[in-house]
Amino acid sequence: MKPGWYEQFFHGLALELWRHAVSPEQTRAEVDFLEQEFAAPAGARLLDVPCGNGRHALLLAARGYRTTGVDLSQEFIEEAQGRAAAERLSVEWRQMDMRRLPWREEFDGAYCFGNSFGYLEPEGMEDFVAALAGALKPGARFVLQTGITAESILPNYVEHEWYRVGGVIMLIANEYDIAHSCLDTTYTFMKDGRTETAESTHWVYTTAELARMLARHGLETKALYAGLDRAPYRLGSHYLCLVSVRL
């Protein structure tokens, strides 16, 4: 296990790869999905946490929503600020720990995309869900997208794999820690003679464990989808899109 790994992970070639990992078309499809699930009026306030470089928050802002993006990475937040300024969009950006959200019943919807659920140790994830639920208005929806649920990651588990994205080669070495139900991963990034390594730990939850965690903090699970097309989530599905509502 490598608690706190995310504090140092997001810089250099890792960020360069991530910038190219998702196409604009995919971002538009994800934002279409979020809009449909939130069913919120124009001007509604939406929370993106963690927001990365703000690809969802920026597009939602362009569609007339008041968006707030929270992320721990200074480099990501600065990039998001620059993109917002270049596109003349008004987005509130906060560089902060997602366990320390300061708002109380202020948002009409919130979302967590991109496998970031599970970055924190279990106690930290409880703190995050509590803070997130507290920031939502009653009746607001929270949408979680992840590929690190037990029903997704374990049937498709591989120890080694590699990808080439945006000119960066990424080698992945996975080790599943059975005693703690977490996935330890070593990444090697290579481009133009540069080599950088980084490590991560994702805590793995079953879908029922996720739903129970959300319920402990007043979020009732309403739907479990295998993707943006809303196909039912099944054992072996590569991604989960969980939709919940704040009671």
Mean pLDDT score, 212-238: 98
CA distance 26 to 218: 31
Q: How far is CA 194 from CA 19, 50, 134, in A?
A: 18, 28, 44
Residue 223: beta bridge partners?
243
pLDDT at position 7 is 87
CA distance 142 to 132: 9
pLDDT at position 62 is 97
Average pLDDT value over all residues in the chain: 96
- Residue 1 — very low, low, confident or very high, per pLDDT cuts 50/70/90? confident
- Which residue ranges form the domains of the chain, and what is each CATH number? 6-147+205-246 (3.40.50.150), 153-200 (no CATH)
**Distant-in-sequence, close-in-space partners of 94: CB < 8 Å, separation ≥ 6:** 68, 69, 70, 71, 77
- Residue 3 — very low, low, confident or very high, per pLDDT cuts 50/70/90? confident
pTM of the model: 0.96
Mean pLDDT score, 210-217: 98
Q: What percent of the chain has pLDDT over 70?
A: 100
Report yes or no: 214 and 192 within 8 Å, Cβ to Cβ. no
pLDDT in tens, 168-201: 999 999 999 999 999 999 999 999 999 999 999 9
DSSP string, the chain: --TTTHHHHSSTHHHHHHHHHS-HHHHHHHHHHHHHHH-PPTT-EEEESS-TT-HHHHHHHHTT-EEEEEES-HHHHHHHHHHHHHTT--EEEEES-GGG---SS-EEEEEE-SS-TTSS-HHHHHHHHHHHHHHEEEEEEEEEEES-BHHHHTTT--SEEEEEETTEEEEEEEEEETTTTEEEEEEEEEETTEEEEEEEEEE-B-HHHHHHHHHHTTEEEEEEESSTT-PBP-TT-S-EEEEEEE-
pLDDT in tens, 59-116: 999 999 999 999 999 989 999 999 999 999 999 999 999 999 999 999 999 999 988 9
Report yes or no: 126 and 216 within 8 Å, Cβ to Cβ. yes
pLDDT in tens, 17-56: 988 888 999 999 999 999 999 999 989 999 999 999 999 9
